[in-house]
Amino acid sequence: MPDYKGGDLDLRGLRRGAYVILGGIVCALVAAALMLRTQGPAANTPPHAFDGSAPQLQPAPQPDRVAYLAEKRRLLASYGWVDRQAGIVRIPLEDAMALLAARGGGAQPSRVPPAPAAPGRAPPIVGPAKEAR
């Protein structure tokens, strides 16, 4: 058995292996091109390219968000009509909580009937609310 000296690397075998790998890649690319040509584009490819412009985004939306939240806070703290014909008004949140607490904490039942349960399913069982400690 000959001793291994480390300098006898077979370059011809390495070159052959590299050619085999390169040939496999070329064959795969040719096969993919032929398949695309015969079968057409993929099913999820759009019929034509999008030719519209990109949506216009705000460069700095933070001031608009601050103004929006300030307006919502102002609405929560003010009186006003929600629907004048139906007689629905808006009162400040703190006043609404005080009125509800003065009534004993029980809210009036909703006038909207509960949604029917899905067929084949029992409606959920709702127990009494736990008291706050």
User: How does pLDDT run across 107-122, given as a tens digit for each residue?
Assistant: 566 666 666 655 656 5
User: Could you give the 3-state DSSP secondary structure of residue 81?
Assistant: strand
The residue with greater pLDDT, 51 or 18, is 18
129: which 2 tokens? 């609310």
Q: pTM of the entire structure? A: 0.36
Q: Note whether 96 and 77 are within 8 A (CB).
A: no
Cα distances (angstroms) measured from residue 119 to each of 105, 115, 123: 35, 12, 10
117: which 2 tokens? 């349960």
How far apart, in whole angstroms, are the C-alpha atoms of residue 31 and residue 40? Answer: 13
What is the per-residue pLDDT for 117?
57
Q: What angle do CA 40, 45, 46 make, to 5 degrees?
A: 120
CA torsion through residues 12, 17, 20, 26, sign: negative
Q: Which residue has the tokens 């006898």?
A: 8
| pLDDT > 80? residue 93 | yes
Q: Which of 102, 74, 105 is nearest to 90 (CA)?
A: 74
The residue with greater pLDDT, 66 or 117, is 66
63: which 2 tokens? 């001031």
How far apart, in whole angstroms, are the C-alpha atoms of residue 49 and residue 30? Answer: 25
User: How does pLDDT run across 8-47, given as a tens digit for each residue?
Assistant: 777 888 899 999 999 999 999 999 999 988 988 778 888 8
All structural domains of the chain with their residue ranges: 62-102
